[in-house]
Amino acid sequence: MIQFVSNLMLSRGVNGVTRSLPREIRCFVAGMAYCCLSPLCALILFSASVMADSIDRPNIILFLADDLGWNGLGSFGSDLYETPNIDALAAAGVKFTDAYSACTVCSPSRAAIMTGKYPARLHLTDFIAGQNQPFAKLSIPEWTKGLQHSEVTIAEALTAEGYKTAHIGKWHLDFKGDQAPDGQPVDHGFDMQIMKPASKGYFMTAPAGGFNKGDFTTDYFASEAAGVVDRWKDDPFFLYFAFDVPHTPIQAKQELVDKYAAKVRPDAIHRNPVYAAMVQSLDEAVGTVLQAVQRNGIEKRTVVIFTSDNGGLSHRFREPTGFTSNDPLRRGKGGAYEGGTRVPMIVRWPGVAPQASVCREPVTGTDLYPTILEIANVVGDANHNAEVDGMSLVPLFRSPESSLDREAIYWHYPHYHAGGFSLPGEPNNGPYSAIRSGQWKLIEYFEDERVELYDLDNDVRESKDLAAESPVRVARLQEKLEQWRRSVGAQLPTANADYDPVKAEPGAR
């Protein structure tokens, strides 16, 4: 168009010599061009601005499963659970093989995601409201039973930068009783929240959101989350969908239970048809939200992250029958071993994260806070948390074979947990701290000062304790672990004057 106007200003003379049109005509043409082109230029500039904004500030969806183990997806090795929607995410993005939750139980892991800080730094180190073990060998410290308002959450940081923010599902970071009645997601920066409807377990007891009594709560959450995508498709948004499944109680839709009951093999790793049905409902919910993203045409400007709050619950207190198995990982939720903290993690970022790629760098839940802020281009604001323990994973999204400049990741759980109690023949799994540095993982138990060392590159099952034959490495890792505990102000358990091995719960004796 501009070239066309320029050509009008000129005329061809004899022998192709170019000369200007008369001044009056040139002024007229220039004036008309200005009137015609100004709206067009404004439209072009506006469109470019919108396009740049959608690229610089993409939508972000964080799916957080509840108690889904590392091998709990088809793309992570399950021989029973069907998860085609989540597996499609892995095929379109990066699968993290060595991703960890920041704690072996839920509330601390969720707090770490929301703040980028280790649970030990927050002093929020157990699930809310925790467990009372009055006769255990150790007394647990006075820990913080809720997310403090002094902490700047992902939602607060993003809302301040113009993002719309929604929380759907399980929160589990609010105080109990009257200590802090303002502890819900909307009190921590979210623009809106959809919490669990009236239900008995996972089945609704009253109509809500177009769903009827007896409908499955996970389906209700998925419908509400898809509605958020529909309403906010034109604005940058952060959707935090924190599932309630496959946490206990183990309940599922009967038609899905029947389907898996017919598929179970006695020699399979996963053999619980009800649990399998819950995992399918989880996958279907992810699919419902992703379909909303697709039908609104915002796939290319939407980053999707999927992970879990901790490992799968592989057995129960006094009932080692198993809800799921984390095999080849040892044990599960509530314990110090890989089954309690290693989790599936997948990231799809069109145009940035290479498709069907794998990252083997150890990462942890504290990393999601700085990662999401960098994705949204809001890094470095003085209003954000000053002491963030996590590191941005954006470099790994772009280049999954690269590594982070990080010496170690840490865990600190100065508590007892029913899910982490010992199985017959297993050592007591009480309060502990742990460190992973490279391929080495050291666990330090507080009850008997026992130390265990594992080479995860060659022994992911943690079947061979190398502590006795590697005293130098043990000493070095213990020193790092102690330095870290001091740096974050970790609270430690103390000797219990009321200790009674007869009255103490199993696992706390």
What pLDDT sits at residue 419? 53
H helices, E strands: number in the chain: 13, 19
Position 378 scores a pLDDT of 87
| Spans of all domains in the chain | 2-49, 57-131+141-389+407-495
Rounded CA separation 130/151 (Å): 21
Determine whether 452 is exposed, middle or buried from the number of CB atoms within 10 Å of its CB (0-12, 13-18, 19+): buried
**H/E element, 478:** helix 471-488
| Whole-angstrom distance, CA of residue 397 vs CA of residue 374 | 12
pLDDT number for residue 176: 59
Identify the residue whose tokens are 């496959």: 246
Q: What is the pLDDT of residue 182?
A: 80
User: Looking up tokens 């469109």, which residue turns up?
Assistant: 47
Report whether CATH 3.40.50.300 matches the domain 57-131+141-389+407-495: no
The residue among 98, 76, 96, 90 whose CA lies nearest residue 348 is 90
DSSP string, 103-159: SSSHHHHHHHHHHSS-HHHHT--SSSS----TTSSEEPP----S--TTS--HHHHHH
Name the packing angle between helices 273-295 and 217-231 (round to 10°): 10
Q: State pTM to two decimals.
A: 0.88
509 residues of the chain, pLDDT tens digit each: 444 334 434 443 333 333 344 444 444 444 544 445 555 544 444 444 444 455 689 999 999 999 999 999 999 999 999 999 999 999 999 999 999 999 999 999 999 999 999 999 999 999 998 888 899 999 999 999 999 999 999 999 999 999 999 999 999 998 753 344 689 999 999 999 999 898 999 999 999 999 999 999 999 999 999 999 999 999 999 999 999 999 999 999 999 999 999 999 999 999 999 999 999 999 999 999 999 999 999 999 999 999 999 999 986 543 344 689 999 999 999 999 999 999 999 999 999 999 999 999 999 999 999 999 999 998 666 566 667 999 999 999 999 999 999 999 999 999 998 654 555 556 666 899 999 999 999 999 999 999 999 999 999 999 999 999 999 999 999 999 999 999 999 999 999 999 998 888 766 65
- Of 185, 194, 239, 190, nearest to 217 by C-alpha is 194
DSSP assignment of 64-107: EESS--TT-SGGGT-SS---HHHHHHHHTSEEEEEEE-SSSSHH
